[in-house]
Amino acid sequence: MTERDVDLMEHADGEAEVELGAEGRAKVAAVHELGELVRGRLEAAADDVPEARLARMWADIDKQLAPPPGPRGWFERYRGYVITAAVSAGAVAALALVLRGPAPTTQAGAALATAVHGPSEIEDLDTPNGTSTVFNVADEDGSTTVIWVTSNDSVGSDQ
């Protein structure tokens, strides 16, 4: 019986059981020997590569597979988004400062309760139909200037 080379190779690889003749056993032995030679050559070639070079290769591969760990890595990855967000927030804050306008006052005096107290200076006072008196009304909130006008009519009526 003559074995086909394909059957012999499958037998050599352990993929099929073939009854071997003398020629077949010789070919299988040769395939095994050839395989050993190839594996030995590849292992020798791998041993020739310096360890440091292999380490660099793996490091390069790692960099391509995953981002750098930690906050700095996160920042590096999202730097564009962070800068855009910061610029946008600044612009919005600036616009708010410009557009905020006056604070609404719901009740007279309610929003103006805190005062920087100091005496008023009366620069000019004219009361064409009466006489004026200036009071300084002081309390815990400070002093308040009061200008009181007594009309000539009321003075006349009292007399």
Task: Give contact residues for other proteins (rule: CB under 8 A).
Answer: 87, 90, 93-94, 97-98, 102-105, 107-130, 132-133, 135, 137, 139-151, 154, 157
| Conformational region of residue 137, where left means phi above 0, alpha means psi within -120 to 50, and beta covers everything else | beta
Contact 5, 27 (CB under 8 A): yes
> How far apart are alpha carbons 78 and 35 in whole angstroms?
51
> How far apart are alpha carbons 124 and 132 in whole angstroms?
12
> How far apart are alpha carbons 13 and 150 in whole angstroms?
125
Nearer to other proteins, 43 or 153 (CB): 153
Nearer to other proteins, 38 or 137 (CB): 137
Min separation Cβ 82 and other proteins, Å: 14
Min separation Cβ 75 and other proteins, Å: 19
Min separation Cβ 112 and other proteins, Å: 5
Min separation Cβ 128 and other proteins, Å: 5
Nearer to other proteins, 33 or 144 (CB): 144
Nearer to other proteins, 29 or 147 (CB): 147
> How far apart are alpha carbons 38 and 17 in whole angstroms?
24
